[in-house]
Structure 1
Amino acid sequence: MSTIVFTHAHPDDEASQTSGAMARAAAEGNRVVVVFATNGEHGEVAVDAVDGESVADHRRREAEASARALGLSRIVWLGYADSGMTGWEQNDAEGSFHAADLDEAARRLAGVLDEEDADVLVGYDWHGGYGHPDHVKVHALVHAAAPLARRTPRLLESTMNRDEIRRVFEATRQAGVEPDWNPDDPMDDGNPLGEPESAITWQVDVSGYLRHRRASMEAHRSQATDIEQFLGMSDDVFAMAFGTEHYIEPGDDGPMRPGWPFTLR
């Protein structure tokens, strides 16, 4: 069995990006830990927020519910402030993750890796999937932290398969529905969504854990703009969108192949 540490920028990122692998790993007897770099202060305000409850406090409660749905063993909060989208003044605010000292943040994450004696560390691709400053910083963070750990973990980068998303979009158009966005459009940093298949190492089947993915998303209902869109999908479309996850393994040039890389090499 392995200990796997997933590192995410904000609470709810785990639901849409890696919840299938997290649930599968936990169900198969592995210890699964999630590290959130920020408190998610710039997320949407919950319609059911308790009087006096901050956005960050509410999102922490949601993250705890998501962790229970996925069977996670531990949540760790690095405690940095949400940096907002590219170009926001919050990018450089005191305490923001984007402005944080990378070496200091890496030592903190390496401390978690040592506490857990982690076998596998998961972060994001080079532009964090869609260019959000905190996601880009997570990429730098995991690469800086891994060699500082007492035992260097296997490193994986969560990404989105742009070619597969494009195929889904074309099928949607042929069915007479015109999507309101395109994976080839510039995202937050001007780059298209995710990575092409030529850059991806692993295609991970999580189709047996779709109900866990839905439950994780349900836990993050406050982030309605994205979550409502995902949960509004029909079962067939949801399975197509979330039945497979994709990961890059640095140093492994592929080609992309099906597998389960969440173990010691």
Structure 2
Amino acid sequence: MATLVTFHAHPDDECINTGGVMRKAADEGHRVVLVVATRGEHGEVSDGFLDDGEELWRRRVAETHAAAEILGVSRVEFLGYTDSGMMGEPTNDVPGSFWSAPVEEAAERLAAILAEESADILTVYDDFGGYGHPDHIQVHRVGNRAAELAGTPRVYQATVNSDHLREGMAALREQGADFGPPEDMKIGKPAALITAQVDVSAYLKHKRAAMRAHASQISEDSFFLAMPDEAFAFAFGTEWFIRDGEGPGITETDLLAGR
């Protein structure tokens, strides 16, 4: 059996990007560890959602643990950095923000967990962070460096198949759908750059339940939960990754296969 460590920027990223792979690994008897760089302090929340005096980060930490249980996670760790907000915002450069953290320092924190767990596999994000969020880009940088420090043998960059997404969203818009990301929003990587394609359709109920656990950020009328089951399966039934040295094209369909 192997140990899979998934590294994410904020609470809720884990279920969206790698929730299927996480639950699949757990069901197959592997150890799954979730590491989150920040506690999502700058997430948006609707008025009245939080209790009087409740801080958002506390709710998001609790939501992360609830989602982790659904996804079969054995250990949850937070690296202790602060959410940097969207690219270009003043919060990017606040001391303690993940974006402003020295890569080597943050990588050493993550590497200590990887070494303690004798991690076989680490997931990070692609070099664009999926959609350009500074904390996601930093996950790519810090995660890859941490794997070098800890000697973690296999690193997969979670991404979105932009060709697949564009095709699906075009079909939905033709049917009158009014949800989803803007057509001109840059997300993920083209299919030609992706080297791993994992079918997680058997775990869609777990992904959706984990998303619901993050109720402060993912409401029932959100893009993630409002879409019909068929559309959700198209969007989230496959998880996509890039592994350096693999390809061109899809060469892996199971991150835990051991090669």
Establish whether TM, by shorter chain, passes 0.5: yes
Correspondence 1:11 to 2:5: no
Distance 1:166 1:131, change over 3 A: same
For each residue in 1:137-168, what CA deviation from the matched residue of structure 2 results, as whole angstroms up to 9, or x when unmatched?
Answer: 0000111111110x433100000000001111
Residues 41-60 of structure 1 aligned to structure 2 (within 5 Å): 41-45=41-45, 47-60=48-61
Distance 1:176 1:258, change over 3 A: farther
Q: Secondary structure at the match of 1:18?
A: helix
Residues 225-240 of structure 1 aligned to structure 2 (within 5 Å): 228-240=222-234
The aligned residue for residue 134 of structure 2 is 133
Distance 1:226 1:127, change over 3 A: farther
**Contact 1:162-1:197 at 8 Å conserved across structures:** yes
For each residue in 1:207-233, what CA deviation from the matched residue of structure 2 results, as whole angstroms up to 9, or x when unmatched?
Answer: 000110011001001004697221111
Q: Secondary structure at the match of 1:72?
A: coil
C-alpha distance in 2, partners of 1:139/1:226? 30
The aligned residue for residue 198 of structure 2 is 204
Distance 1:72 1:157, change over 3 A: same
**Contact 1:103-1:144 at 8 Å conserved across structures:** yes
C-alpha distance in 2, partners of 1:195/1:230? 20
The aligned residue for residue 220 of structure 1 is 214
Give the CA deviation at 1:34. 0.5
C-alpha distance in 2, partners of 1:71/1:102? 29
Residues 166-177 of structure 1 aligned to structure 2 (within 5 Å): 166-177=166-177
Distance 1:48 1:221, change over 3 A: same
Identify unmatched segments of 5+ residues in structure 1. 187-191
Residues 175-186 of structure 1 aligned to structure 2 (within 5 Å): 175-177=175-177, 181-182=181-182, 185-186=184-185
C-alpha distance in 2, partners of 1:129/1:120? 20
Correspondence 1:98 to 2:99: yes
**Contact 2:169-2:180 at 8 Å conserved across structures:** no
For each residue in 1:55-81, what CA deviation from the matched residue of structure 2 results, as whole angstroms up to 9, or x when unmatched?
Answer: 111100000000111110000100100
User: Percent same amino acid among aligned pairs?
Assistant: 49
The aligned residue for residue 165 of structure 2 is 165
C-alpha distance in 2, partners of 1:174/1:227? 20
Identify unmatched segments of 5+ residues in structure 2. none
TM-score (norm 1): 0.92
Paired residue type of 1:88: E
C-alpha distance in 1, partners of 2:160/2:10? 17
Give the CA deviation at 1:179. 5.7
Q: Secondary structure at the match of 1:245?
A: strand
Correspondence 1:195 to 2:189: yes
The aligned residue for residue 20 of structure 1 is 20
The aligned residue for residue 240 of structure 2 is 246
**RMSD (CA atoms):** 1.7
C-alpha distance in 2, partners of 1:179/1:48? 23
Q: Secondary structure at the match of 1:34?
A: strand
